[in-house]
Amino acid sequence: MSQEQKEAEKLIGQVLNGTYRLEQLLVTGGMGAVFRARHVRTGGVCAIKVLHQRAAMQGDLSERFQDEARIIAGLRHPNIVQVSDLDRDKSGMAFIVMELLEGEDLQDRIERTGSVPLDEALQITRQVSSALHAAHQRGVIHRDLKPRNIFLARHEENGVLTQTAKVIDFGVSKVPRPADKATRDLLVLGTPRYMAPEGAMGQNSQIDGRSDQWSVGVILYRMLSGKLPFDHENVIDLFKQVINEQPTPIEQLVPTVPPYVAAAIKRSLAKKKEERFATMLDFLQALEPPPAAPPFSWKRSLTFGLLGASLAGLVVMPLLVRELQGKKRSGQVAQLLVQADEALMDERWDEAIKLSSQVLTVPGQAPYVAAAAENIKRRVEKGQKISGDAQQIMQALANKDYDGALSRNRDLPPRTSFRITAQQHYDLLQQLVIAYHLQQAEAERSLGKCDKIEPHVAKILELVPDHVDALTARWRPCALITGQPPGAKKLAGYPPLRDLAGKPLGLAGEHDKAHNNFAEIDRSLRDAQIAHQHGEYMKAVALAHTATSVPIRSLPAWRIVGVSACHLKSPEILEYVVPHLDLASKEFVRSRCTAAGYKVSF
């Protein structure tokens, strides 16, 4: 049970502001918990959402919690959960009063039944799309739409049980306000498996209603097939799928899906948001079956065909020729503008300039056409500068020059948005993941939880097999030295250690006196760690042995020698190593030897 859930359960039975008694904990989430509550004077039931104490201490989350209440209260749509109050109790705890819904969320429904029948799935999608269209009209983007945030409310009406889809949880919505902290680029918000490519790339300034449309397309795909179009355990690989790969067509998984529904899903999952439907209303209309064609009549076709041909020959054709010539020029110009804009979006600067210049050379164009071409040229100049600045920032991040990256970023206008490639995003995420696991490994070490260190090290080595900091974290002692320290002769490395062929390795720490410094010692220790990682255990023994005479490096070095001896199945080397180990190091070597399938007796 999480700490947040424990804190939430303590609130059961409390009366907020002398009005709402919390009766039952329904669900806990990242920001808050939802309770079933009862009005103490009227007896009416409702749902109360409270903000977790930890989240309340973060000003941004507290502000978003209140935004959620104001957003929902302002929308007033039958397919959006209704909010009736926003307040704080005497202790300062913020809470939202909402309608109490009976039923289950769409996630539970899919997990229970595997998939949803076509008619019901389309009905749910229509209701959700209608709610989102209303929100988009008010400038509100949900940004975290997923089955868990769609509640299937059930109620009885005239003896008939009906179901209504309700959109809930607008906690990370994008709202029309200045300096929206949650719309900063490179900050990934939402649920990865339902996130549009622009969200996966952290381009929050590019998120709009078409990003929600992508999420609805993913949800409809899953309802019909029982599968996700993009699914990977590793979030980085998942983002690569979302950005670069095409999903399996829904008609291959569910052959009974009507072609118009399959086409609507395919378009809603277009990688470029410009290729999706312009609005949720357009997406809704695409889910309706096309009108049936009228029955064919030979008589009507011949009559109107002959009459039309006569008029065309006498009157229409001369006018049509002139019209087509003008339309041809206009069509060419429009195509050039579209191509120039696409080149601009793809940062093909020279091509965008060339195409817009071609537009300006076409005679007889309307003033707004020339203005559009000039505007593309100005955007190219601005884009080239921003792209250069972004490349410098990304290069600084890649070199771990965080101060330099921050300094360059500070010089840019606050509303500047960056376009980065999937590989650049991967490199940045990789650094963050490595830093996180190194931090967690050191935190576990400081708490004495030695067995918790290795999983974090393994995660880093999956990404970078020879990562020096991770290898160092693996071998560093995890507890204070206990018991009596080894004697002077043992620290000095007597008797000399020998390899499997009986050849002496030399005294511990014995190397060229001209290079007798910590840099050389650390280099040997680092090379020993890498050799062990690659299964070169004898090499690891020889390299680590040179660092054993330096007290500050001796314990990690002896650990490497001991574990390598187990892999070599050499009791002679292991017998020599054991007297140099403290109790914590013995436990470390013993556990690693057991994992390697070699039983030790110490």
Tell me, yes or no, whether 347 lies in a domain: no
Q: What percent of the chain has pLDDT over 70?
A: 76
Query: For residues 509 and 558, is the Cβ–Cβ distance under 8 A?
Result: no
DSSP H or E segment with residue 16: strand 15-16
- Report the amino acid identity of residue 237: D
pLDDT (mean) for 455-470: 83
Count Cα neighbours of 332 within 13 Å in the Cβ-side half-sphere: 13
Asked if pLDDT for residue 234 goes beyond 50, the answer is yes
pLDDT of amino acid 217: 95
Q: How confident is the model at residue 15 (pLDDT cuts 50, 70, 90)?
A: very high
Instruction: Tell me whether strands 20-28 and 103-105 are parallel, antiparallel or unpaired.
Output: unpaired
- HEC string for 372-405: HHHHHHHHHHHHHHHHHHHHHHHHHHHCCCHHHH
Tokens at residue 153, please? 């409310």
Residue 381 is predicted with a pLDDT of 84
pLDDT of residue 171: 59
Q: Which residue has the tokens 């989240």?
A: 55
Provide the pLDDT for residue 505. Answer: 54
Can you give the pLDDT at residue 450?
Answer: 76
Tokens at 413, concatenated: 């206008």
> Do 497 and 462 lie in a common domain?
no
Which residues make beta-bridge pairs with 39?
Answer: 20
Mean pLDDT of 62-72: 72
Q: What is the distance between the alpha carbons of residues 602 and 592, in angstroms, rounded to a whole number?
A: 13
405 lies in some domain: no
- Indicate whether 113 and 232 sit together in one domain: yes
Higher pLDDT, 550 or 221: 221
Q: Which residue in 102, 19, 108, 34 sits closest to 68, CA to CA? A: 34
Q: In the chain, helix, strand, coil percent, each to 5?
A: 55, 10, 30
The count of structural domains within the chain is: 4
Residue 62 included in any domain: yes
Same domain, 84 and 120: no
pLDDT digits (tens, 9 = 90+) for 310-345: 444 444 444 434 444 554 555 677 777 778 777 777
Residue scoring higher pLDDT (400 or 562): 562
In whole angstroms, how far apart are CA 42 and each of 20, 73, 90, 492? 10, 22, 21, 83
Same domain, 55 and 112: no
- Do the Cβ atoms of 495 and 572 come closer than 8 Å? no
Average pLDDT along the chain: 78
Tell me whether residue 394 is in a domain: no
394 versus 80: the higher-pLDDT residue is 80
In tens, the pLDDT along 260-271 reads 999 999 999 999
Domain boundary among 286, 307, 335: 286
If DSSP codes are grouped into helix, strand and coil, which group holds residue 45? strand
Q: How far apart are CA 15 and CA 507, in angstroms?
A: 75
Q: d(Cα 192, Cα 175) in Å, to the nearest integer?
A: 21
Q: Which residue in 67, 144, 341, 582 is the catalytic one? A: 144
- Range name among 79-83, 172-176, 303-307, 549-553 with the lowest pLDDT average: 303-307
Band of residue 184 on the pLDDT scale cut at 50, 70, 90: very low
What CATH number is given to the structural domain containing 262? 1.10.510.10
Does residue 393 belong to any structural domain of this protein? no
Residue where a domain stops, chosen among 286, 316, 339:
286
Q: Are residues 567 and 446 in the same domain?
A: no
The mean-pLDDT minimum among 18-22, 43-47, 465-469, 596-600 falls in 465-469
Q: Are residues 257 and 119 in the same domain?
A: yes
pLDDT of residue 300: 52
State yes or no: pLDDT of 530 exceeds 50.
Answer: yes
**Euclidean distance between the first and the last CA atom of the chain, given in angstroms as a whole number:** 39
Q: What is the pLDDT of residue 250?
A: 94
Q: What is the pLDDT of residues 408-451, one digit of tens each?
A: 777 776 656 666 667 767 777 788 888 888 888 877 776 667 77
Q: Are 138 and 74 in contact (CB under 8 A)?
A: yes
> Does pLDDT of 480 surpass 50?
no
**Does 127 lie in the same domain as 256?**
yes
Last residue of a domain, one of 286, 319, 336: 286
Do 68 and 118 reside in the same domain of the chain?
Answer: no
Copy the structure tokens of residue 34.
């939802």
Please indicate, yes or no, whether residues 444 and 542 belong to a single structural domain of this protein.
no
Q: How many CB atoms lie within 10 A of CB 477?
A: 16
- pLDDT of 507 reads 43
Single pTM value for the model: 0.49
Sign for the CA dihedral angle at 343, 344, 346, 347 comes to positive
**Is residue 134 over pLDDT 70?**
yes
Which token pair is 273? 């948001």
- Is residue 43 in some structural domain? yes
CATH assignment at residue 67: 3.30.200.20
| Helix locations, 476-536, DSSP H | 488-492, 518-533
- The tokens for 361 are 């050379």
Give the full edge-to-edge strand order of the sheet including 103-105. 103-105, 150-157, 160-167
Residues 110 and 253 in one domain: yes
The answer to whether position 37 is within a domain reads: yes
pLDDT of amino acid 340: 79
Computed from CA positions of residues 132, 136, 138, 144, in that sequence, does the dihedral angle turn out positive or negative?
positive
Facing residues of 46 across strands?
37
Same domain, yes or no, for 93 and 119? no
Residue-number span of the structural domain to which 178 is assigned: 103-286
Query: Which stretches of 447-517 are DSSP H helices?
Result: 453-463, 468-475, 488-492
Q: How far is CA 413 from the centre of its chain?
A: 26
Beta strands 32-39 and 20-28 are antiparallel
Supply the DSSP string of 216-241, one letter for each residue: HHHHHHHHHHSS-SS--SSHHHHHHH
Based on the fold, state whether residues 455 and 569 are members of the same structural domain: no
197 upstream amide cis, omega within 30 of 0? no
In this structure, is residue 474 part of a structural domain?
no
144 is catalytic: yes
CA-based max dimension of the chain: 116
- Per-residue pLDDT at 481: 38
Residues in CB range of 119: below 8 A, 6 or more apart: none
